[in-house]
Amino acid sequence: MEHLAFTCLSVFSLACALGVVLSKNAVNGAMCLLLCLAGVAGLFVQLHAYLLAFVLVLVYAGAVVALFLFIIMLLDMQGGTPWKFRGLNAAAGFVAALLLVTGLNLLAVRGHLEAGPPIGHSVGSSLKLYSYQLFTTYLLPVQIIGFLLLIAMLGVIVLSRRVPQPEDAK
């Protein structure tokens, strides 16, 4: 049963990820990204990371994809050139594909990653344990991340200010 759910979710996610890459229209690509994220959130639920599935849907599907759609509408882009594969890009893609296939092949042939069966009571599912970790071991990173968000906000405000044109100054 769990295996069937895993297969369905992974095929769904992969198909939607391919949709992001292959769709001509950027809006369709954003929608495919949304569906792919929903599939990954389902996989997170299967891995008993309920909080992360929730946060993924909230942050990515809610905020990031909406932001993408806003920008696509703002820039009003149509069509564009979907597929060009040539020169250095083709070489880079070929080398990367070769490395990936070699690595996965080694993983599949040489044996398994050393891991027992999943632990019965998953630690990721317990919100209390999770927040305990966040506010003890990872307290400094949490504060740094907060600072990073502040800096990002300031950066966006500075970037989106209209730069005064030379003609405007006169």
Partner 1 sequence: MTPSLDSYVMLSAALFAIGFLGVLVRRNTLVIYMCLELMLVAATLALVAFSRFNGTEDGDVFVFFILTVAAAEVAVGLAIIVALFRARQTVQVDQLDSLKH
**Residues of span 38-97 touching partner 1 by CB under 8 A:** 40, 43-44, 46-49, 51-52, 55-56, 59-60, 63-64, 67-68, 71-72, 74-75, 77, 80-85, 89, 92-93, 96-97
Q: Does 140 bind partner 1 (CB under 8 A)?
A: no
Q: Does 130 bind partner 1 (CB under 8 A)?
A: yes
Residues 2-31 that bind partner 1 (CB under 8 A): 2-3, 6, 10, 13-14, 17-18, 20-21, 26, 29-30
Q: Name the minimum Å distance from CB 86 to partner 1.
A: 10
User: Looking at 8, 98, 141, 143, which residue binds partner 1 (CB under 8 A)?
Assistant: 141
User: Looking at 8, 98, 104, 106, which residue binds partner 1 (CB under 8 A)?
Assistant: 104
User: Looking at 102, 106, 122, 139, which residue binds partner 1 (CB under 8 A)?
Assistant: 122
Residue 161 three-state SS: coil
DSSP state for residue 165 in the 8-state scheme: P
Q: Does 143 bind partner 1 (CB under 8 A)?
A: no
Taking CA atoms, 61 is separated from 4, 13, 42, 54, in Å, by 25, 14, 13, 10
User: Looking at 113, 167, 168, 170, which residue binds partner 1 (CB under 8 A)?
Assistant: 113
User: Looking at 73, 98, 134, 139, which residue binds partner 1 (CB under 8 A)?
Assistant: 134
Q: Name the minimum Å distance from CB 169 to partner 1.
A: 17
Read out DSSP for the chain? Answer: -HHHHHHHHHHHHHHHHHHHHH-SSHHHHHHHHHHHHHHHHHHHHHTT-HHHHHHHIIIIIIIIHHHHHHHHHHHT----------HHHHHHHHHHHHHHHHHHHHHHHH---S--SPPSS-STT-HHHHHHHHHTTTHHHHHHHHHHHHHHHHHHHHHHSPPPPHHHH-
Distance CA 27, CA 126 (A): 37
Residues 151-170 that bind partner 1 (CB under 8 A): 152-153, 155-156, 159-160, 162
